[in-house]
Amino acid sequence: MSDTAFNQLAPLIRQASGKTLWLADENLLSARLSPNPAVTVITNRIDLYQQLQQQGWQAQFSDYDLSEIPDQSFDTVIYRVSKEKPVVHHLINEAFRCLKPEGQMFLSGDKSEGIKSYFSKARKLFGGGESSKAEKDTWLVSLAKYNTGSDDFLDSKAYPQLRVCCQDEQFEYWSKPGVFGWDKVDKGSAYLIEHLDNFLMTLPEPPRNALDLGCGYGYLSLNISSLGIPVTATDNNAAALLACERNFERYPLQGKVVPASCAEGISEKFDLILCNPPFHAGFSVDGDLTDRFLKAAHDRLSSRGVACFVTNLHIPLERKAAACFHQAECIAANGNFKLVRLTHKT
């Protein structure tokens, strides 16, 4: 899928000759550019990082941690804005710090993503800038660092900091901006946990281990910790992995947190798999992602294992799952969500 906003920046990345930092977000998974040795790329998605590395880019995977980059060390920063405001604010602030005097930051995005408001706030911080309409509602923004010291930093909600974001009777959940639904318990996941005991009763034998597929900050993992079995939690997003690690340290959970896209590279098989799959990839609703999560569960489920997916009612999960699972059965539903039980055998 071609992204009009990113298309405004692609020529700048290709032609960059001064020291350039490209901040690459999840919406760029389909981007294919030949590597430019003047450019360092930082991304918060493990799949994009692996793809860029294979293409020969100088790439780093982190939760947009630019703290090791010295002040005033880059000529140019290029960034197609992310979905979440604190991420964008954090990266504009950090770009300002990392740029040399008169260095430039290029941003692109759509009106509905707040690009015009990012432009007006960032221009105050930088001291100079221009914006131009590229196509329909897509804008290209260039900012020039004329201010050396400035107090007009954008509110990033203390982006790098992990914090207790919500709690219930059993747990305090640590999380941060940049994690999916970072400051709340997801309603679908809460629904799954409400029905967990009933679901566990359908298992042929007690599970020996579990996989939390697309773990976010680890809500599902924490809520099965009372089973006393090793839990592997995996996600492709760096912020989610950091938060989940913190929750694993905080509570007596045996197990590990593994960066992976759709569990790629995890060869272990699991007796229990829990998943609340994403159905948004970048800016688009991605049907294919559901199939990839189902395939990941299929490949990692032990022969006696049972998986439970929670999804919105409208996702045809049972039909999709029928292609790879022997049995795919809806075991509970309310007005919004359903739980689907998946097994290799009946």
Ligand X SMILES: C[S@@+](CC[C@H](N)C(=O)[O-])C[C@H]1O[C@@H](n2cnc3c(N)ncnc32)[C@H](O)[C@@H]1O
If one asks whether residue 199 binds ligand X (CB under 6 A), the answer comes out as no
Number of chain residues interacting with ligand X (CB under 6 A): 17
CA dihedral 316, 319, 323, 325 (to 10 degrees): 90
If one asks whether residue 175 binds ligand X (CB under 6 A), the answer comes out as no
Name which position in 3, 110, 235, 271 contacts ligand X (CB under 6 A). Answer: 235
Name which position in 156, 261, 290, 343 contacts ligand X (CB under 6 A). Answer: 261
Phi, psi of 238 (to 5 degrees): -60, -40
If one asks whether residue 276 binds ligand X (CB under 6 A), the answer comes out as yes
Which residue is associated with the tokens 């739980």? 339
SS3 call for 172: strand
Distance CA 75, CA 178 (A): 26
**In this structure, is the dihedral angle defined by the CA atoms of residues 30, 64, 50 and 211, taken in order, positive or negative?**
negative
Pick the closer one to ligand X by CB: 25 or 47. 47
Of 106, 136, 137, whose CA–CA distance to 122 is shortest? 106
Instruction: Work out how close the CB of 180 gets to ligand X at its nearest, in angstroms, rounded to a whole number.
Output: 4
Segment interacting with ligand X (CB under 6 A) among 8-16, 124-132, 231-239, 323-331:
231-239
Which conformational region is residue 331 in: left (phi greater than 0), alpha (psi within -120 to 50 degrees), or beta?
alpha
If one asks whether residue 215 binds ligand X (CB under 6 A), the answer comes out as yes
If one asks whether residue 76 binds ligand X (CB under 6 A), the answer comes out as no
Check: CB of residue 216 under 8 Å from CB of residue 179.
yes
Instruction: Work out how close the CB of 99 gets to ligand X at its nearest, in angstroms, rounded to a whole number.
Output: 29
Name which position in 35, 127, 160, 278 contacts ligand X (CB under 6 A). Answer: 278
Name which position in 220, 243, 294, 340 contacts ligand X (CB under 6 A). Answer: 220
Segment interacting with ligand X (CB under 6 A) among 159-167, 211-219, 265-273, 331-339:
211-219
Check: CB of residue 309 under 8 Å from CB of residue 336.
no
Query: From residue 34 to residue 63, what is the string marking binding to ligand X with x (rule CB under 6 A)?
Result: -------------x----------------
Residues of the shown chain interacting with ligand X in the complex, contacts defined by CB under 6 A:
47, 180, 186, 189, 214-216, 219-220, 235-237, 240, 261-262, 276, 278
